[in-house]
Amino acid sequence: MIRAMVAAFAESGEVNVLASGANWCWPAVLRELFVPRGVNLLVAQDTNEFVNILHQRRVQTTIVDMDSAAGGLATVRVIRLEYPQVPCILLATEVPDAVLAEALRLEVFSVIGKPVDVGILREQLDRLFVKRYASDLFSV
């Protein structure tokens, strides 16, 4: 399955990242990180929208905000049911042990504290893309 994802990524040349919507400047921050790299930002406001987008588009990774209307870990659980190979990065204001344990169980790639340091997010995206897709898209 992972080989198929790598092949599809290489073949299409299109990179899509699906992220939780937010009432703050989050989508604008992501666009500043993604646009220079040719990455398409797809934004979902709730879990249903996450699933609909995943059905319609090939997505290389998701970024799920625990504090969003999408519901954080509940959204990751739904993604795991239908798209178990799509990597997830989780953003959280507070990261109690129970959240970390559940994120580990759900095979979340990374948990990043909020407010998000864009440098740390870029580093995690770089790790993810090198490991999963053999791509240095997010390297400096």
The residues spanned by each domain of the chain are 2-133
* pLDDT, position 106: 95
* pLDDT, position 58: 94
* pLDDT, position 96: 87
101-129 pLDDT, tens digit per residue, is 999 999 999 999 989 999 999 999 999 99
Positions in the chain short of pLDDT 70: 1-12, 23-24, 69-70
* pLDDT, position 23: 65
* pLDDT, position 99: 87
CB neighbours of 42 closer than 8 A, spacing ≥ 6? 16, 17, 18, 19, 53, 57, 59
d(CA 51, CA 134): 26
CB neighbours of 135 closer than 8 A, spacing ≥ 6? 9, 129
* pLDDT, position 26: 82
Cα angle value 46/59/102 (rounded, 5°): 60
Question: Which CATH number applies to 2-133?
Answer: 3.40.50.2300
Q: Enter the pTM of the model.
A: 0.88
* pLDDT, position 12: 60
* pLDDT, position 6: 44
* pLDDT, position 50: 92
CB neighbours of 24 closer than 8 A, spacing ≥ 6? none
